[in-house]
Homo-oligomer: A and B are copies of this chain.
Amino acid sequence: MSESIYIAWVAIGGAVLALIYAAFLASKVSACDTGTDRMREVASAIREGAMAFISREYKVLAIFVVVAAIIFAVVNKGPVRLVSLAFVVGAFCSGLAGFLGMRVATKANVRTANAARTSLNKALDVAFKGGAVMGMSVVGLGVLGLSSLFLILTYMYGAHTEALKNTVLPILAGFSFGASSIALFARVGGGIYTKAADVGADLVGKVEQGIPEDDPRNPATIADNVGDNVGDVCGMGADLFESYVGSLVSSMVLGISAGFTAVMLPIALAAVGIIASIIGTFFVKTKEGGNPQKALNMGTFLAAIIFVVAAYFIINFLAPDGLTFGGMYVCAAKLWGAVVVGLGAGVAVGLLTEHYCAMKKGPVEEIVSASKTGAATSIIAGLSVGMRSTALPLFAIVIAIIVSYSLAGLYGIAIAAFGMLSTTGIQLAVDAYGPIADNAGGITEMSDLGEEVRERTDALDSVGNTTAAIGKGFAIGSAALTALSLFAAFREQAGLTRIDITRPDVMAGLLVGGMLPFLFSSMAMKAVGKAANSMIEEVRRQFRSIPGLMEGTAKADYAKCVDISTGAAIREMILPGLLAILTPIIVGFGSKWIWGDAAALGGLLAGVTVSGVMMAIFMSNAGGAWDNAKKQIEGEVKDPENNTGKGSARHAAAVIGDTVGDPFKDTAGPSLNILIKLMSVLSLVISPLLM
């Protein structure tokens, strides 16, 4: 059976290929020209800020990782102690992927702006290559780390069912939890950071000092631009790294009952997905005056089609006679069907998300129209749109669950989750392209590169908004399915034959779990407020105490500002972070102690998944819709008399909606994705102790 261990070597090959390709793309980006002195000045300020953030964040995280690793080593017994090592490796890989991605993104922004001075296609090329480094780093490091650990562990402990179930896979879960921990900090910290900087820059710079937006004299402006990278590049990367690794690990765990091939199949599919993503990137091209959206769609859909076709052959090659899960026989075609269903659900959720957030479509028009009668009606309309937008994506997820389960049981749900994430390499490239194009637009504006260049970066940027919406949809959909498959894996590993909600302890767990996303969101939103205040004070201090700053003769202390914002973000992170990590531990061991098993923890995970998914969709989509409602009004003819365009009362109402939407879509909403996965994977990690 275990001769199929060679698959892990193949996967490592694919992962190394992805990393080499990432290095190649990074060198291509680096080789591009950085334009004028002015452009370089702006870009280096953003770059300095991003690196200041990373260095400060990683210092704090290092302490957390070491402490958690020691605890894991102490509380576990026997070989499972190695979970602490896997945890450190997972955290390191996730952190490294974020570091590499952000490093290149902050190089690509200025080079994209410069390329836009000559051609749209060149600019698209640079921005997309920059994003692709992130995408390839995530899948490359994810698969490399996981497969290497798997090879080492099976070499040490063997590849028979007992070893896999009791030693190898519980340790691998630690890798996944390491990724989750970093993701929690990256998403929540990054989310608080970027919104604090945004508010700080606006309130002190624009309102108090009367200098324009994105003015380099404003110390917080750079932090604001850094925030886009921190939140949208690094945060999204860590989020998908977590989903990617989590869905791999959970499908491996759920595969045990069918034997070694079922355990290796997800890794084989990951290798296929990497190759498909790499091929897809070659097709992202457009000509002058062309539509960059089509180019991105072309690459993404092509990668998906290649993956779907290749997956069919791979599954038939590895499991020509199907698999048998504890008595249930599943043929190869059904396994393939589950993967395809997951991918289809991901596309559906992405497209629905885009529908609810896109300009000129029903939901955004509703907010635009409600803004006529003021901020209150604008807010009510946005909340109503956001709440309504939970329904259809949820149905897509539910259909995926039912169909994939009917095809291949719980393993089906897990490989459906992985199917959704199979082309993460190119999907994330497209996501990360957004903030690069956005930053490029900002640099263009600040460096006076002229109308034509600005038009090109605008074309790139508007595509970025759509891709961001779709990417968020994918992140939510995959978080839901990944959490469910981790939940199933937890149940298997904790030895719970069922989790009966008519038991009061399970119902209590369900209720507490359902409450956590509300409490967590509340904390995140309050944290944005507090961090913004610290930022405002620092910016005021710099304007007061640095002579020549307003005149442009002295340079603002960007790093200090970024450092303040980072510090505040990480400080404010501690409480929600502890909530996420301690709750499953307390509920798990508490219920084991009181009721004799960990069923209440199962209820908790179900509750947090149900209300977390709804709140994440609600908050992300409401925020996205408000944002585009504001942009749509800004695109109208400027005529305040008739209440249209910039400067009108309607615009002011929409701006208020957009400001409310900021912590919704960039802090609380996306953080919930992490919350639900982190709690599930942590439960999986502690499940051997709950047996």
Contact = CB atoms under 8 A, between A and B. Distances in A.
Contacts of A529: 370, 377, 380-381, 384
B484 A606 contact: no
Contacts of A499: 500-502
Given A388-B519, A614-B514, A488 B505 contact: no
Given A380-B529, A383-B525, A394 B515 contact: yes
Contact of A379 (B379, B518, B521): B379
Contact of A656 (B374, B506, B512): B374
A375 B656 contact: yes
Interface string A363-394: 00000001001111101110111111011001
Interface string A33-61: 00000000000000000000000000000
Interface in A527-554: 528-529
A86 to B, nearest CB: 26
A273 interface: no
B504 A380 contact: no
Nearest to A618: B518
A302 interface: no
Contacts of A510: 501, 606, 610
Interface in A566-623: 602-603, 606-607, 610-611, 613-614, 618
Nearest to A393: B515
A659 interface: yes
A514 B375 contact: no
Interface in A198-230: 203
Contact of A401 (B391, B397, B508): B508
A522 interface: yes
Contact of A519 (B390, B500, B504): B390
Nearest to A655: B376
B515 A391 contact: yes
Given A388-B519, A656-B379, A610 B525 contact: no
Given A379-B379, A380-B529, A390-B515, 9 more contacts: A380-B659, A387-B519, A401-B504, A401-B508, A496-B502, A511-B610, A514-B514, A514-B614, A610-B611
6 contacts: A380-B528, A394-B511, A402-B504, A500-B500, A501-B510, A610-B611
